[in-house]
């Protein structure tokens, strides 16, 4: 039986409302980034103001160390992603395939760490970093981000590997592979969607994180993007144009990466829901 028209219209209206609520802040920030000067508020309802200008964007690249912050963020995020993917790939495999003393306890410990909010871990991790003499270093920041992202990534990869039949590895071993070669040639290619999620999660953790970076990094030359952008907001006078422009530019790589890898995201999230 066909759905009544008014129900369809109502359904679409509610969905549009929620889309508008989600998209409005981003549109507003985009609009602010195109306004000349530091106009946060405006009576003009147009998304693109009549006197739009790219001045804020130009100033970001020419008068602000935006590119340095970008480079710092890329460096940290890339290394955290690479480390996270490698460790989660092999750690998840170990938990999935091997039975060793302490396996259950370790898995429970991993699960337990997810119950704590990141801010609770901030002080103990900072003390650890300080004792290692890694405050104000990229390595210190990487350790922070990797150790907070890794438990989820390992758990996620473990679940993913559980969906890959062991018989595939057994077939590979009979075909002449060692266990390591079977992992590399057979299991890892099949775990690509899971690795993509791990990479995205690790990247997001490092790319847009502010609080930890604010504690660890003191040298302005080593600021990541969130730290640098926050500097545009002062107690007496905030540079809203620069703030908005930088926010838009910081979001673009993440959006691009999500769009490029969206098919893996869907596969990774739903695969494993039904056991083969």
Partner 1 sequence: MSRVLLQNLEKKYPSGFHAVRDLSLEINDGEFMVLVGPSGCGKSTTLRMVAGLEEVTGGEIHIGDRRVNDVAPGDRDIAMVFQNYALYPHMSVRQNMAFGLKMRGTPRAEIERRVGEAADVLSIESLLDRRPRELSGGQRQRVALGRAIVREPKVFLFDEPLSNLDAKLRVQMRTEIARLHQRLKTTVIYVTHDQVEAMTLGQRIVLMDRGVVQQVDTPMDIYHRPANRFVGSFIGSPAMNFFPGRIDGGSFHLSGGGSIPLAGASSNGQFPAGPATLGVRPEDLTTDGEGLPLATVTLDVVEHMGHETMVHFTLAGADHIARLAPDIRAAPGDCLPLTVRPNALHLFADDEHGRRLN
Specify burial of residue 106 (Cβ count, 10 A radius: 0-12, 13-18, 19+).
Answer: middle
Which DSSP helix (H) or strand (E) runs through 126? helix 118-131
Nearer to partner 1, 46 or 266 (CB): 266
Residue 170 C-beta: closest distance to partner 1, Å:
5
Residue 109 C-beta: closest distance to partner 1, Å:
24
- DSSP reduced 3-state for 209: coil
Nearer to partner 1, 79 or 186 (CB): 186
Binding residues for partner 1 (CB under 8 A) = 165, 167-168, 170-178, 181, 185-186, 189-190, 276
Residue 160 C-beta: closest distance to partner 1, Å:
14
Nearer to partner 1, 117 or 176 (CB): 176
Nearer to partner 1, 114 or 185 (CB): 185
CA distance 7 to 213: 49
CA distance 106 to 94: 12
Residue 189 C-beta: closest distance to partner 1, Å:
5
Given its phi and psi angles, is residue 136 left (phi above 0), alpha (psi -120 to 50 degrees) or beta? left
Read off the tokens for 122. Answer: 């901030």
Read off the tokens for 112. Answer: 């337990």
Nearer to partner 1, 120 or 171 (CB): 171
CA distance 144 to 141: 5
Residue 254 C-beta: closest distance to partner 1, Å:
28
Residue 163 C-beta: closest distance to partner 1, Å:
12
Residues 6+ apart with CB under 8 A from 258: 200, 265
Nearer to partner 1, 94 or 177 (CB): 177
Residues 6+ apart with CB under 8 A from 147: 125
């Amino acid at each position: 039986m066909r759905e009544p028209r008014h129900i369809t219209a109502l359904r679409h209206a509610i969905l549009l409302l929620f889309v508008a609520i989600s998209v409005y802040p981003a549109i507003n920030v985009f609009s602010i980034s195109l306004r000349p000067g530091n106009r946060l508020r405006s009576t003009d309802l147009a998304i693109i103001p009549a006197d739009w200008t790219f001045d804020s964007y130009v100033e970001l690249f020419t008068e602000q160390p935006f590119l340095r912050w970008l480079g710092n963020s890329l460096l940290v995020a890339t290394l955290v992603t690479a480390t996270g993917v490698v460790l989660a790939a092999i750690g998840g495999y170990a938990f999935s395939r091997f039975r060793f003393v302490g396996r259950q306890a370790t898995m429970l410990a991993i699960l337990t760490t997810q119950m704590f909010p990141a801010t609770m871990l901030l002080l103990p991790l900072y003390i650890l970093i300080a004792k290692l003499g890694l405050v104000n270093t990229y390595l210190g920041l990487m350790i922070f981000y990797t150790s907070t992202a890794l438990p989820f990534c390992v758990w996620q990869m473990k679940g993913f590997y559980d969906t890959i039949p062991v018989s595939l590895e057994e077939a590979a071993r009979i075909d002449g592979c060692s266990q390591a070669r079977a992992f590399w040639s057979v299991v890892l290619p099949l775990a690509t969607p899971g690795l993509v999620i791990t990479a995205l999660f690790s990247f997001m953790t490092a790319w847009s994180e502010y609080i930890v970076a604010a504690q660890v990094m003191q040298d302005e030359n080593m600021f990541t993007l969130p730290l640098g952008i926050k500097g545009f907001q002062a107690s007496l006078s905030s540079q809203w144009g620069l703030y908005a422009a930088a926010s838009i530019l910081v979001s673009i790589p993440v959006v691009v990466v999500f769009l490029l890898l969206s098919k893996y995201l869907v596969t990774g999230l739903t695969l494993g829901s039904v056991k083969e």
